[in-house]
Structures are given as structure tokens and as C-alpha cells.
Amino acid sequence: MANESDSLPASQALRICAVRELFEETGILLACDKSDESKPPHLLACLLSHSDCKAWRKRVQEKAGSLALLYGELGLKLPLSALEEWSNWLTPAHNKKRFDTIFYYAGISGLKYLNGGSSSVISEPSEEVHSLYLDSPAAFLSHNPNDEGPVFMSTTKSPLMPPQAYELCRVIRFPHVAQLTRFARQRASFGCRRWNCVLAYAKCNKTNDSLVPMYLLPGDKRYKDAHEFSEEHGETITLTGDWQSDSHLNRLLIMRKQYPGLWWKSNIFDLGHVLPVTLEEFTMNYAQN
């Protein structure tokens, strides 16, 4: 929707893009009911019939302006005010392609079936999505890649990227959707700070030459040096010194044993956000057998 959103404030244009991407990739159309504007928006996940969904997804992919036509034809309202800013991530400098991505939180109040709509449309593959899997944060993080089924936290098969792992480890702290929605709405007033994740390596211990890969984020004691080195040379830095005793932490460690994958250690509170759970916290309080 580049041509049509050039004159829009970035906050609106980005939300429109997020709504469009969700529909293109999953068939889920977010919309607000036209209730009292003075109250928090009542957000619905709208599902179309198979034929309508397929046709409109194709139209929206080919011409972004078709999204406005879709909402107009269905008598729906774009849910811009219901999408809360959650976080902003920038792809590390060593990657060939870099993406500056804003994550939004949307607390859905219910489903709305339109013109013979069916929930099965969200399982249909698209040009960008081969399959879709819905579950709780704990289920994603608990999955053992040695089991059959989808692989999410594996470092060798379809891994979660650092932003996904970090945000799941944040969201899991909220046992109820209503609690998470309330927090997201209140926290959004602080805005988001762009986080540029930096890949680094460190020696496992003094007697072992093997290197441990990790991602560093703003606030971590080692972040500044690693970020400057990465931006200047386009390469990863090897950390020196006793990095395991650092006091200021905002880093992701790539684990190899039980629950292999990406696990964060952080004691840096940023703009009203909660900390991600550590592997130790997850194993004790959230793991699903």
C-alpha cells in the first residue's frame, strides 16, 4: 500500500501493512466493530468463505489498495487503534538482507464468520506460508525437536528467529489473555526502541577452545563493542574476558541440550516491558511434557 500510505502518518501506515500481511499470509482479517468510540476497541478475527478468501487474498497481494475495497464491501472497520506497539527489531548487520520490523499485539475478543466463512481457511497454504500452526507460547517453547511434528526451537530445523524467541519468552509470563491485553495497552504509551541484534562468539571456558554463539541486545555489557565491530566490519566479534560473570545482561544463548534452541538471559527493563523468561524459569514453571 506504498502509494496510498505515503501521506499517512507512519503509525497508521505500518498498522495497515501489518493487517494486510496477516490477511495475505493466514487468511485472518482483523476488524473492529463499530461500537462506542470512547471505549477500548472490540477486536474481531473475521473469517471468509474459501472462495472469497482465496479471491481476496490474490487481489490484495496483486494490488495493496484492494484491502480498503475489501473492508468497504464487508462493512468492516480497519482496527488500527486496536493494534498496540510491542517491539521493534532490526536484522543484524552480518545478514545479507536486513529488515526493520515492528511487532504489534492484538487482543482478539472473538471470531466472526462472514458469508459462509470457515476456520479451515487459516490452514490453507499461501504463496508465503506452507502451513500454519496455532498453540500457546508454552507449547512452542516446549517442543523437543527429537519428537515428531513441527519444530520451533531447534537450531537445525526451522528455528525461531531471535525476535520470535524473545517475544514468546515475554508473552509466556501472562497466564491470561485479558491480563496480557491490558498490559500491552498500558505499555504501548512508552513507544518502542529499535533493537539491533548482534551475533557474537565467546569461548565456553578457559580450558576449552570451542566457541559459544550468542546474540547481544542493547543494555548488555558486551553490546556496544560487538555492535560497533559488526557495523564497521560486517563480521562477528569473538568476546574476550569472563563474559559469564557480566552483571548487565541482555543476550540470547543457543542451547544444545534439553529444550535446544534460543534462550534469553536479561535483566534490562526497557520502556515498561517485562523481561523474557530464562531457560531455568521456563523449565521450572512453564515446560510442557
Q: What confidence score (pLDDT) does residue 56 get?
A: 93
Q: How far apart are the first and last CA of the chain?
A: 44
Q: What confidence score (pLDDT) does residue 104 get?
A: 97
CA 187 to CA 272: how far, in whole Å?
6
Q: What confidence score (pLDDT) does residue 233 get?
A: 85
Q: What confidence score (pLDDT) does residue 34 get?
A: 62
For the stretch 199-213, pLDDT in tens is: 898 877 654 567 888
Tell me the pTM.
0.84
| pLDDT of 269 higher than 70 | yes
Q: What confidence score (pLDDT) does residue 149 get?
A: 37
| pLDDT of 260 higher than 70 | no
* Window from 8-12, 132-136, 213-217 with minimum mean pLDDT: 132-136
User: Predicted confidence band at 242 (pLDDT cuts at 50, 70, 90)?
Assistant: confident
Q: Identify which has the larger pLDDT, 287 or 16.
A: 16
Share of the chain above pLDDT 70, in %: 80
Collect all residues with Cβ–Cβ distance below 8 Å to 62 and sequence separation of at least 6. Answer: none
* Window from 37-46, 156-165, 171-180, 260-269 with minimum mean pLDDT: 156-165
Amino acid in position 91 = T
User: Predicted confidence band at 1 (pLDDT cuts at 50, 70, 90)?
Assistant: very low
DSSP one-letter code for 99? -
| Over residues 235-263, mean pLDDT | 79
Q: What confidence score (pLDDT) does residue 154 get?
A: 41
User: Predicted confidence band at 132 (pLDDT cuts at 50, 70, 90)?
Assistant: confident
Strand 110-113 and strand 43-47: pairing?
A: parallel
Q: Identify which has the larger pLDDT, 258 or 213.
A: 213
CA-to-CA dists, residue 226 to 166, 197, 278, angstroms = 19, 10, 22
| pLDDT of 147 higher than 70 | no
Q: What confidence score (pLDDT) does residue 189 get?
A: 93
Q: What confidence score (pLDDT) does residue 6 get?
A: 59
CA 160 to CA 168: how far, in whole Å?
10
Decide: helix, strand or coil at residue 245. Answer: helix
For the stretch 99-126, pLDDT in tens is: 899 999 999 988 888 888 777 666 666 6
CA 80 to CA 67: how far, in whole Å?
13
User: Predicted confidence band at 170 (pLDDT cuts at 50, 70, 90)?
Assistant: very high
- Burial bucket for residue 108 (CB in 10 Å: 0-12, 13-18, 19+): middle
The mean of the pLDDT values for the chain is: 82
| pLDDT of 139 higher than 70 | yes
For the stretch 12-49, pLDDT in tens is: 999 999 999 999 988 899 998 765 565 666 899 999 99
Q: What confidence score (pLDDT) does residue 85 get?
A: 96
